[in-house]
Structure 1
Amino acid sequence: MSDLPTLPVTFRPGRTRAVLLTAAVTTFVVVSTIALLLDRLGPGERISFIFTAALLAGVALMLARPKVVADERGVTVVNFASTRRLEWAQIVQVHLRVGDPWVFLDLSDGTSLPAIGIQPGIAKAQAIADARALRALVEARSGEHRA
């Protein structure tokens, strides 16, 4: 199929990621600068401000982490706090229904795995295109690896 993306391919919410990375850096810089510029703060309070800024930035970075990576051997799903490697044959179907916050993968063991790296959020058309591309890859690759 010529419509299939060239492997390896990474799907991630680009605009959402850009917003979150910008927010992480901005939050850390602004809060840390305020902590250093306020004369009435003692050293412990300054450290507390900077620690809080780092914590907030860390949360934004964690939210920017999701991606779905497809390669010759299978798919790696990186969500907020977990990573799972799947062989092509383990993925039965790829879903992105109206109202879904992200793609869901139906697996051969009867479970469903959220693939947060493909989410309609602020780039709905891109998410739909990515979901279709992943679905086409799964259909093409799963047949090759099943007996």
Structure 2
Amino acid sequence: MSELVIRPRKVRRVAPVLAVALVAVFVVVGVLLGNTPTGAYFRVADQIAMAGIGVALAAAALMFTRPRLRADAEGVEVRNIVVTHRFPWALVREVNFPDGSAWARLELPDDEYVSVMAIQSTDSRHAVDAMRKLRAMHAEYTQ
């Protein structure tokens, strides 16, 4: 095997739609803030801030499209939402997907583990295929 790259599927389809919806809702709310019969006075800055909150929430939703796993002969790189880790195969004790877990994980020495958000249970068949390929690489490079 050369290089294996795995990314989640469903979240990469859902997150952009959610991001657009968040921006749209907060822009509409921001526009409607100027005409409230409550007696409260909202300025243009408040309306812009409401749209800005929508953009910030959309950016947060798009962060869920970042997870990726990249494995090669030297080791495995796990990029989750914020942090990226690189492990040589010698440190990876096991690749597993615990029952009821949302994503796979790499078992490391001293009872530590790293979640692999790129392999998600919601991806069903894609996750099964990804686990088979990753376990095959683990078996090949940890001999």
Q: TM-score, normalised by structure 2?
A: 0.82
Secondary structure, in 3 states, of the residue corresponding to 1:118?
strand
Aligned to 1:55: 56
- Deviation (angstroms), 1:58: 1.8
Larger radius of gyration: 2
What 5-or-longer segments of structure 1 have no aligned partner?
Answer: 1-5
Q: TM-score, normalised by structure 1?
A: 0.80
- Tell me the matched-pair count: 137
Q: Indicate if the aligned counterparts of 1:104 and 1:113 stay in contact, CA closer than 8 A.
A: yes
Q: Indicate if the aligned counterparts of 2:34 and 2:47 stay in contact, CA closer than 8 A.
A: no
Aligned to 1:81: 82
The 4+ residue runs of structure 1 with deviation greater than 4 A are 36-39
Q: Indicate if the aligned counterparts of 2:103 and 2:120 stay in contact, CA closer than 8 A.
A: yes
Distance 1:69 1:142 in 2: 16
Q: Indicate if the aligned counterparts of 1:96 and 1:128 stay in contact, CA closer than 8 A.
A: no
Distance 1:56 1:98 in 2: 31
Distance 1:129 1:97 in 2: 16
Q: 1:109 to 1:98 in 2, by over 3 A?
A: closer
Aligned to 1:3: none
Could you report, residue by residue, the CA deviation over 1:13-72 in whole angstroms, capped at 9, with x for unpaired residues? 111221012211232244225534765353211221121101211221122221211134
Secondary structure, in 3 states, of the residue corresponding to 1:116?
strand
What 5-or-longer segments of structure 2 have no aligned partner?
Answer: 36-41
**Of 104-113 and 94-103, the range deviating more from structure 2:** 104-113
Residue identity (%): 29
| Residues 1:13 and 2:8 are matched in the alignment | yes
| Residues 1:125 and 2:125 are matched in the alignment | yes
Q: Indicate if the aligned counterparts of 2:23 and 2:54 stay in contact, CA closer than 8 A.
A: yes
Q: 1:8 to 1:51 in 2, by over 3 A?
A: same
The Cα RMSD (Å) is 2.0
Distance 1:76 1:29 in 2: 36
> Which amino acid letter does the alignment assign opposite residue 126 of structure 1?
H
